[in-house]
């Protein structure tokens, strides 16, 4: 308790907390995009429950990993060499997670672009079972959680700060989940944009797994620019519809 009180009196601790909260929220957006797209494929009455379970699992996984910091740090040690690249368990998890994300995003784009092959769909998207959705969310929760916690370990040595940052980020995810999923569901073009983001994120995870560092700032700047362009397209489309209505 005294350690926590002493920590709150250190300005650098507050700076670390603020920076880490922002980083965790940004990393959580990737996770939330996947959860939103996947939950929208379920029947209406199961969607909110799937989102809450997915985000709850993300919190439990992150807090569980924080309790095993020593083991998490060991994940960065090389365990195998492939084509001259020394890979750690973290690298292997990132590569597998990235491949899964690329495969899933590509499959979803196919469902949206070529709906003729998928007549048994729910609101234009391929139906999936509740259990299947939770398993897929759990897989990506694991990948994003490990990336999130290793980022936190690299930014501060204080576990208390990490816990506060993780809980804050997951709370933001929980509050944003339903509005984001509703917005994505009502705007088909946003779905394609979100899927392209997931492709980009998956490719980045694979690259980082093989030791090619891609600055996150470039990735999120490109995503923000695409979102602004799509926002302008939506504004222009709505303006045309209002003119036709008049």
* Rounded mean pLDDT, 238-245: 84
Residue 9's pLDDT band (cuts 50, 70, 90): low
* Rounded mean pLDDT, 225-240: 86
* Rounded mean pLDDT, 219-230: 84
Residue 7's pLDDT band (cuts 50, 70, 90): low
pTM of the predicted structure, to 2 decimals: 0.67
For the stretch 79-107, pLDDT in tens is 888 777 788 888 888 888 888 888 888 88
* Rounded mean pLDDT, 139-145: 80
* Rounded mean pLDDT, 182-187: 77
Note the pLDDT of residue 125. Answer: 44
- The secondary structure of the chain as a DSSP string is -HHHHHHHT-HHHHHHHHHHHHHHHHHHHHHHHHHHHHHTTS-HHHHHHHHHHHHHHHHHHHHHHHTTHHHHHHTTSEEEEETTEEEEHHHHHHHHHHHHHHHHHHHHHHHHH-GGG--SEETTEE---HHHHHHHHHHHHHHHHHHHHHHHHHH-S-HHHHHHHHHHHHHHHHHHHHHHHHHHHH-HHHHHHHHHHHHHHHHHHHHHHTT----HHHHHHHHHHHHHHHHHHHHHHHHHHHHHH-
* Rounded mean pLDDT, 13-38: 76
Instruction: Tell which wins on pLDDT, 154 or 102.
Output: 102
């Amino acid at each position: 308790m005294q350690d926590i009180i002493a920590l709150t009196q250190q300005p650098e601790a507050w700076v670390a907390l603020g920076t880490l909260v922002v980083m965790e929220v940004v990393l959580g957006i990737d996770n939330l995009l996947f959860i939103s797209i996947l939950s929208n494929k379920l029947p209406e009455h199961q969607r909110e429950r799937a989102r809450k379970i997915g985000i709850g699992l993300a919190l439990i996984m992150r807090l569980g990993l924080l309790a095993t910091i020593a083991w998490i740090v060991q994940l960065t040690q090389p365990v195998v060499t492939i084509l001259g690249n020394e890979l750690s368990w973290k690298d292997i998890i990132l590569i597998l997670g990235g491949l899964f994300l690329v495969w899933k995003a590509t499959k979803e784009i196919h469902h949206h672009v070529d709906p003729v092959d998928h007549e048994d769909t729910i609101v234009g998207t391929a139906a999936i079972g509740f259990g299947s959705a939770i398993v897929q969310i759990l897989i990506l929760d694991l990948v994003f959680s490990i990336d999130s916690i290793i980022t936190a370990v690299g930014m501060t040595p204080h576990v208390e700060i990490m816990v506060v940052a993780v809980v804050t980020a997951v709370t933001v995810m929980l509050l944003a989940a339903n509005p984001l999923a509703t917005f994505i569901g009502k705007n088909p073009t946003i779905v394609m944009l979100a899927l392209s983001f997931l492709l980009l994120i998956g490719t980045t995870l694979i690259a980082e797994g093989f030791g090619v560092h891609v600055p996150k700032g470039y990735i999120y700047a490109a995503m923000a620019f695409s979102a602004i362009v799509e926002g302008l397209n939506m504004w222009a489309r709505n303006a045309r519809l209002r003119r036709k209505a008049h």
